[in-house]
Amino acid sequence: MSEIMARAKYAAVERADYSDIICEQCGSGERPGELLLCDKCDKGFHMRCLRPIVVRIPIGSWLCPKCSGHRRKRIIDFFKIQKSGDGKKKCNLSQDTRKRRRRPLVLLKKRRRLLPFIPSEDPNQRLKQMGTLASALTAMQMEFSDDLTYSSDMAPRSANQAKFENGGMQVLSREDMETLELCRSMSRRGECPPFIVVFDSCEGYTVEADAQIKDMTFIAEYTGDVDYIKNRENDDCDSMMTLLLATNPSESLVICPDKCGNIARFINGINNHTPEGKKKQNCKCVRYSVNGECRVLLVATRDIAKGERLYYDYNGYEHEYPTHHFV
């Protein structure tokens, strides 16, 4: 029977009575309405005992973590990870970059260059991290995208030009562009930044550091659909991000991560009306001109400990977002 169960796609034996089902994680049979039954092994799991937490009852069949033998392939497909010919091969910085980073510490501190994130060495840990993001995106009915996306019924890519910014926009330096491209290439190979997405009953989905993060480390680029602000005046999306504040207000742009996005979508804001809220801030969003286009980068503003949640100030530019009700 065990061999048949291992080979079969779904080989669960229907029971006559499910009243004795308990959660395999906590051992309790309480809250039966929250128990999910695996369609292969027929064992029970509380939705909140699973990691990552399942916040909605899955549509269709569901497999427990042990029975989902193709989990790695699903994660690779979900994030469109590029397979490398040599798994041990590391993405090295260019020779010029390494030379520049041998400069005196005082100069480095003064110039405040971006640092690349350091992926977890354990592939299984990286798989777990990506799994939490995939679960959160799926629960929000979103698709993963590490790029700004444009469509014909919103703003075209030609509208995203940094030269339209009222007062000008700071240009990302050549060194920082190398760091950005290094991080993007690592992410494409599945070497993701060391963060996990968790669900909090008060804050909803939020992001935690899964390793120590140094000050000025690149965290993520804020991505999603690009649209004109004028088209989103009555939009109820709570995660829109300013992309371009144009001299002509009708040309101003926002990023809307309601249909697609990445981990930046789940980093929460601080309550900037209280001292306690301001102390929680450990990262910031910065708008840069990158090859003439506007981009928004999230960067650590201090060292972040493992297990610490990420927060930034939603009112980085306009000071109009109501944050007084934030936890």
pLDDT, tens only, 130-159 = 999 999 999 999 999 999 999 989 999 999
Residue 108 banded pLDDT, cuts 50, 70, 90: very low
Which one is predicted more confidently, 23 or 109? 23
pLDDT at position 125 over 90: yes
Mean pLDDT across the chain, nearest whole number? 82
In a domain, 249, yes or no: yes
pTM: 0.70
Q: What are the tens digits of pLDDT across the range 168-212?
A: 899 999 999 999 999 999 999 999 999 999 999 888 999 999 999
Please tell me the predicted confidence (pLDDT) of residue 98: 45
Which one is predicted more confidently, 307 or 101? 307
Task: Give the Cα separation of 76 and 74 in Å (integer).
Answer: 5
Same domain as 156, residue 30? no
Could you tell me the residue range of the domain that residue 250 belongs to? 123-312
Q: How many domains does the chain have?
A: 2
The DSSP secondary-structure symbol of 41 reads T
Based on DSSP, count helices (H) and strands (E) in the chain, helices before strands: 7, 14
192 close to 130: Cβ distance less than 8 angstroms: yes
Residue 126 banded pLDDT, cuts 50, 70, 90: very high
Same domain as 294, residue 167? yes
In a domain, 3, yes or no: no
Same domain as 194, residue 52? no
In a domain, 133, yes or no: yes
Same domain as 55, residue 195? no
Tell me the three-class secondary structure of 239-259, residue by residue.
Answer: CCEEEECECCHHHCEEEECCC
Same domain as 299, residue 239? yes
pLDDT at position 247 over 50: yes
Please tell me the predicted confidence (pLDDT) of residue 316: 57
Task: Give the Cα separation of 151 and 272 in Å (integer).
Answer: 34
Residue 82 banded pLDDT, cuts 50, 70, 90: confident
Place of tokens 């700004």: 148
Residue 69 banded pLDDT, cuts 50, 70, 90: low
- Token pair, residue 79, equals 């994030």
Same domain as 299, residue 234? yes
Listed in sequence order, the DSSP H helices in 119-265 are 123-139, 174-188
Q: What are the tens digits of pLDDT across the range 248-306?
A: 999 999 999 999 999 999 999 887 767 777 788 999 999 999 999 999 999 999 999 99
Q: How many residues are there in the chain?
A: 327
